[in-house]
Structure 1
């Protein structure tokens, strides 16, 4: 698989660090979000205040939202409702199917959609394969699914390789 598919278009510490102007400048009108460790801590029950405020600001500016998660429907649906977002549960990321469904639910073309997530091997790989603008965020928590801990080790090695080869500069 080509390494460029693992390269996010940008990296930020938190979702709330992203300025809405960035999306407007790029013609992005829809935002796809991973759930766990992107907009709430893994297994968490509340979206952090700064992220809730950020969502409210974007909603006021008429952006569309869709949660795309490998988690089960009841969990994803609960947070989608709280954010007035559509959702795709059991997305099987990095399959592009969930990302395509998200764009369809928002009635947008891939070039009008950004995906924001905390994992290279699911969110960024899937988003790039689907032709979306990709944004990698730092995980909100060190607590996570056991297999994700293994993925993080591999992600770190891959990020170092991508940096060394000049494919990313953050």
Structure 2
């Protein structure tokens, strides 16, 4: 039952995922959540680390599309400065936004990965569409009020999954 929430990989931070690691797994495109994955939910400016990560992927020819449940205006304000495409109102954990992202990338599902900080939305949506997923730790430990209930449920699901799957440990890279 909870296997639908199990990520393919667990990495400490999105910035640790390199083009070389992605290529090793045949990944040619990245879909990513926005809040607490790329940027702190309460600070949309991003960091130099984020800008360097996006630049490295761009130079490697790996496109990035942000998949967010936020409205169009909020997502556009956050990502315009990073020059990446986005899908707003993605309706995660449903697969709508991820399917749209895969379609825009014009890649097969085997060549795409979803990166996010929530198992109940990002990872579950990736499973629904049939793509691999990378769970990352949230950038900041606080959440908007809308996310706090999910975090409560996620702690219980993660505890169960990690008991059943001792290989579910945080890594410094995707292996």
Partner of 1:62: 61
Question: 1:1-170, aligned counterparts within 5 Å?
Answer: 2-166=1-165, 168-170=167-169
| SS at structure 2 position matched to 1:129 | helix
Give 1:45 deviation, angstroms.
2.2
Which stretch shows the higher mean deviation, 159-168 or 30-39?
A: 159-168
- Per chain length, whose mean CA-contact separation is higher, i.e. which structure has more relative contact order (CA < 8 Å, sep 6+)? 2
User: Matches of 1:110 and 1:139 in 2, distance apart?
Assistant: 25
Give 1:167 deviation, angstroms.
6.6
User: Matches of 2:35 and 2:168 in 1, distance apart?
Assistant: 26
User: Matches of 2:85 and 2:102 in 1, distance apart?
Assistant: 10
Cα-to-partner distance string for 1:87-109 (whole Å, 9 max, x where unaligned): 11011101111000001111112
Cα-to-partner distance string for 1:66-95 (whole Å, 9 max, x where unaligned): 110000101212333322222110111011
Give 1:17 deviation, angstroms.
1.1
- TM-score for the superposition, normalised by structure 1: 0.94
Is the 8 Å Cα contact of residues 31 and 64 (structure 2) preserved in structure 1? Answer: yes
Give 1:64 deviation, angstroms.
0.9
CA RMSD of aligned residues (A): 1.3
Give 1:22 deviation, angstroms.
1.7
Give 1:43 deviation, angstroms.
2.8
- TM-score for the superposition, normalised by structure 2: 0.91
Which stretch shows the higher mean deviation, 65-74 or 18-27?
A: 18-27
Gaps of 5+ in 1: none
Give 1:147 deviation, angstroms.
3.0
Query: Across the two proteins, how many residue pairs are aligned to each other?
Result: 169
Is the 8 Å Cα contact of residues 116 and 134 (structure 1) preserved in structure 2? Answer: yes
Deviating 4+ runs (over 3 angstroms): none
Is the 8 Å Cα contact of residues 10 and 168 (structure 2) preserved in structure 1? Answer: no
| SS at structure 2 position matched to 1:75 | helix
Partner of 2:173: none
Give 1:168 deviation, angstroms.
4.6
| SS at structure 2 position matched to 1:23 | helix
| SS at structure 1 position matched to 2:10 | strand
